[in-house]
């Protein structure tokens, strides 16, 4: 187990720069999730830590030792690939023991390590099989087994669950979390799935366009997103954004929507009057009432029942937004409803898209 320190890491392919100076300190035993849309550089960063991509600039240190110029084999890390990358001509046991055999570990040690890992992952009956005789979930497990069989300094996961169906993904997610609890190993996990990020991470690193947007605990990112990108990326259904102008007001600040509707803010901010802002609110925080209730008028466009709750697609003067509610009485809402935006749940972003805090 080890800490991983990343300092001002840059990566370019020719003239194209994909990572623009990433800083990150990962503590010993921490579970870090790199999350972001396709092409944000998260996989590149992971592959640079693994040693599979060369570092254009900056430093990577594992357990305090600079590893920029070390081959992957000398970094003592394990990695689980999205494609699993199992060796097709080897049995499950051989796949799992390959790294130990390369290190000339004594046979008895290999056997005990493989059987310990196999029983942890429920792979005992499959040890003699070839990968092609395994289901997707079993292959995934073997890939995990291959990683845990030697005790590396860190585990790297590159979207390991993307190829599984939803149910299996949920199950494996829980197993990975449990495994991390058992082994306490430093882990870096790359995903574009924000649910995986939220459920697994000690800390999430949200990335976009090769730049780290925010680092923090899952609830930090959920409750206090640093900018519009993080606010929109974390949470499903995504946060509603309404373009507005800041109104200082004498009896408390508010924002004015395009049609003149005022929405009260929880506090005053150091913004100029009439400055363009974006106000954000999560669908589950919007309060819904009948057309004769109080609040802002909205038309119902679409209702999506999910069983657990209901997602209502609404518009207010052409401005679309969503509401999520577990109250089933709203299943037949419409055609018009009233909504209100509790000030405590509003997020305010300035013209640059950054969160306004004071």
Applying CB under 8 A, the residues found at the interface with another protein are 50-52, 71-73, 77-79, 81, 83-89, 98-99, 102-103, 130-134, 136, 139, 146, 163
Q: State how far Cα 223 lies from the chain centre.
A: 15
For another protein, give the closer residue by CB, 52 or 257. 52
**Cα-trace Rg, the chain:** 24
For another protein, give the closer residue by CB, 54 or 274. 54
Shortest separation between residue 90's beta carbon and another protein, angstroms = 9
For another protein, give the closer residue by CB, 9 or 80. 80
Give Cα separations from 260 to 209, 237, 322 (angstroms).
35, 27, 20
Question: How many helices, marked H, and strands, marked E, lie in the chain?
Answer: 8, 20
For another protein, give the closer residue by CB, 131 or 218. 131
Residue 238 near residue 229, CB atoms below 8 Å? no
Shortest separation between residue 33's beta carbon and another protein, angstroms = 20
At residue 32's C-alpha, the angle toward residues 215 and 196, to 5°, is 95
Residue 51 CA to residue 68 CA, distance in Å, equals 8
For another protein, give the closer residue by CB, 51 or 218. 51
For another protein, give the closer residue by CB, 36 or 51. 51
Dihedral of the alpha carbons of 100, 155, 49, 130, in degrees to the nearest 10: 50
Shortest separation between residue 194's beta carbon and another protein, angstroms = 22
Shortest separation between residue 110's beta carbon and another protein, angstroms = 13
Dihedral of the alpha carbons of 185, 189, 194, 196, in degrees to the nearest 10: -50
Shortest separation between residue 43's beta carbon and another protein, angstroms = 12
Shortest separation between residue 331's beta carbon and another protein, angstroms = 38
* Helices 136-148 and 107-121, axial angle in degrees (round to 10): 140
């Amino acid at each position: 187990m080890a800490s991983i320190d990343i300092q001002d890491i840059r990566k370019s392919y020719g003239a194209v720069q994909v990572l623009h100076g990433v800083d990150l300190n990962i503590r010993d035993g921490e579970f870090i999730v790199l999350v972001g849309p396709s092409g944000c550089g998260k996989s590149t960063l992971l592959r640079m830590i693994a040693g599979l991509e060369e570092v254009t600039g900056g430093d990577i240190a594992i357990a305090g030792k600079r590893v920029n110029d070390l081959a992957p084999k000398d970094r003592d890390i394990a990695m689980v690939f999205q494609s699993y990358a199992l060796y097709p001509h080897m049995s499950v046991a051989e796949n799992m023991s390959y790294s130990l055999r390369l290190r000339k570990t004594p046979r008895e040690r290999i056997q005990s390590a493989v059987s310990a890992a196999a029983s942890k992952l429920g792979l005992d009956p499959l040890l003699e099989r070839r990968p092609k005789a395994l289901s997707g979930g079993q292959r995934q497990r073997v890939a995990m087994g291959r990683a845990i069989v030697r005790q590396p300094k860190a585990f790297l996961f590159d979207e390991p669950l993307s190829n599984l169906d939803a149910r299996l993904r949920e199950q494996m997610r829980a197993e990975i979390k449990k495994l991390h609890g058992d082994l306490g190993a430093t882990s870096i996990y790359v995903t574009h799935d924000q649910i995986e990020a939220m459920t697994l991470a000690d800390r999430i690193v949200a990335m976009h366009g090769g730049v780290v947007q925010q680092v923090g605990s899952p609830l930090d990112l959920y409750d206090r997103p640093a900018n519009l990108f993080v606010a929109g990326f974390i949470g499903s259904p995504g946060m509603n954004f309404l373009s507005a102008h800041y109104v200082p007001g004498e009896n408390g600040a508010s924002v004015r929507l395009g049609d003149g509707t005022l929405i009260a803010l929880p506090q005053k901010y150091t913004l100029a009057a009439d400055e363009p802002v974006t106000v954000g609110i999560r669908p589950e925080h919007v309060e819904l009432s009948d057309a004769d209730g109080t609040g802002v008028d909205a038309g119902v466009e679409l209702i999506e029942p999910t069983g657990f709750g209901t997602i209502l697609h609404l518009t207010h003067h052409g401005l679309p937004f969503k509401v999520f509610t577990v109250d089933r009485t709203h299943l037949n809402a419409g055609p018009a409803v009233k909504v209100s935006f509790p000030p405590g749940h509003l997020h305010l972003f300035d013209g640059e898209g950054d969160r306004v805090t004071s």
